[in-house]
Each structure stands twice: as C-alpha cells, then as structure tokens.
Amino acid sequence: MSEFINHYTPSADLLKDKCIMITGAGDGIGKTVAKTFAAHGATVILLGRTSAKLEAVYDEIEAAGNPQAAIFPLDLATASMEQFEQLAEAIENMFGRLDGLVHNASLLGQRTPLSNYHYTTWQQVIQVNVNATFGLTKALLPLLEQSAAGSIVFSSSSVGRKGRAFWGAYSVSKFATEGMMQVLADELDGVSKIRANSVNPGATRTNMRASAYPAEDPKTVATPESIMPTYLYLMGDASRDVNGKQFNAQQ
C-alpha cells in the first residue's frame, strides 16, 4: 500500500539546523529538492557527477540568502567504498553528523526488451541505482545515528512497484531500491532514531522524463516544485515515526 500526503503545509523553518545530503543534486528533481530544503533552513550537501551543475545550484542557494551549501562532486558509476568512507569522514569533520540523506541520483538506461538489453548498460544502471546507494548508505549510517532524528529517502518509481515491459535494468533497480529500503527500515525499527522510506515522484518534468518519453509535451507533466511537499514531509519532524513506508509524491 502506497501513501500520499495530502494538504501538507511545511513551516518556513521546517529544516532549520538540519544537515542533509542529496545525490544527483545538480539537475532535475534533486536540484529542486536541494533548493527547497535550503529555503526551509537546511544546510544541504550537494553530491553529483557534474561540478558545474552543482556549483550553479550552490550559487542559487547563496543568492537566495539560504544557508551555505557544501559540494561533493562524485561519479556514482565509478565510486568505490573507500571513496564513500572518505566522503563520510569529510562530512563528519565539517558537520559532525547527518540529519538526512536523499538517494535521488539514477540512470535510466535503455528502453528495450530484456532480450536486447546490453550487459554493460545493465551493469552501469545497477551500479549507480543500487550498488552506490548501498555503499553510500553503509558509509553514512554512523553519521545519521548522530542525528536526533535521521531520515533516509530512497527514490523509487512506478516501475519499481510493478514490472513493465521495456524498462529493463531501471525497473529492476527500483525493485532493489524498494527492497533495500524495506530491509534497512526493518533493521532500524525499534533500535534506531533513523527512519527509511521510499518515494515514487510520479511523472515529473526533467531530462530523465524527456528521454523516457521523447514525444511528450513537457508542459503536460508535473514540475519538480509541485512534488516537494512529500520530500519536505519525509525530512521534517512530522514523519519522525514513519518508517518502512512507500510514498507517492503525486496522487
């Protein structure tokens, strides 16, 4: 059963003093999540593979007068466990803890039958969407434990809840993401202040959506801004006791 947050109005300072990492923060939904969280008082840690994009988001946050962001350029397709641990160490030195982690970066891969799917593309998609998500989670859990109420948000998809033809490794990776969320949430239940939940953004106006649906008029698709209430809810204290749940950001 998926949940939908209706009529959630976050306070302006909802995320004041919170320190939150967003992966894939340079573009699309991740960029909007980063700017929105900063606008609600969070210090955001921008992780992504294209430095120029991360710097542009950093500048926008600064220009808006919101808390100064931090930038960590990292390509999740090649990142090693050692690099994830170095990242955790750097965050510990800078902030001493982590209050939130949004696993947002993903690769779409090919839209083709499994019988045609390239093995190398399969490996890249699983690497970024699943293996890197695990490595980053493992490295950052001790810092999330230092938070009064840590929140991990996993990005899912409708094809991660029901398989669909031609969605290949992407669909399978999102099933794995849901599985990772559920295993982790069950492990955390009753023994940790950290919570883990998943969000299916629904059709959202980004580059990924445009490459999956090239014939679609982007104006007919929801903006990233319009789906922010669910992300804010999952980072704010209203969801403190919500763990192991699947959310839809659109009805």
Question: Active-site residues: which are they?
Answer: 170
| Residue (29 or 101) nearer to ligand NDP, CB | 29
Question: Nearest approach, Cβ of 166 to ligand NDP (angstroms)?
Answer: 15
- The two tokens of residue 161 are 């809840």
Q: Which residues bind ligand NDP (CB under 6 A)?
A: 24, 26-30, 48-50, 53, 75-77, 104-107, 128, 155, 157, 200-201, 203-204, 206-209
Nearest CB to ligand NDP, comparing residues 16 and 152: 152
- Least separation in angstroms between residue 169's CB and ligand NDP is 12
Residue closer to ligand NDP, measured from CB, 71 or 149: 71
Q: Supply the DSSP string of the chain, one letter for each residue.
A: -EEE--S----TTTTTT-EEEEETTTSHHHHHHHHHHHHTT-EEEEEES-HHHHHHHHHHHHHTTPPPPEEEE--TTT--HHHHHHHHHHHHHHHS--SEEEE--------S-GGG--HHHHHHHHIIIIIHHHHHHHHHHHHHHTSSS-EEEEE--GGGTS--TT-HHHHHHHHHHHHHHHHHHHHHTTT-S-EEEEEE--SBSSHHHHHHSTTS-GGGSB-GGGGHHHHHHHHSGGGTT--S-EEES--
Give 192 or 213: the residue with its C-beta nearer to ligand NDP. Answer: 213
Closest CA to 70 of 146, 82, 93: 93
Nearest distance, CB of residue 216 and ligand NDP, angstroms: 10
* Strand bridging mode 151-155 / 195-200: parallel
Nearest distance in Å: CB 172, ligand NDP: 13
- Write down the least CB distance from residue 208 to ligand NDP, Å: 3
In terms of CB distance, is 2 or 50 closer to ligand NDP?
50
Which single residue is written with the structure tokens 């290949």?
Answer: 168
Whose CB is nearest to ligand NDP? 28
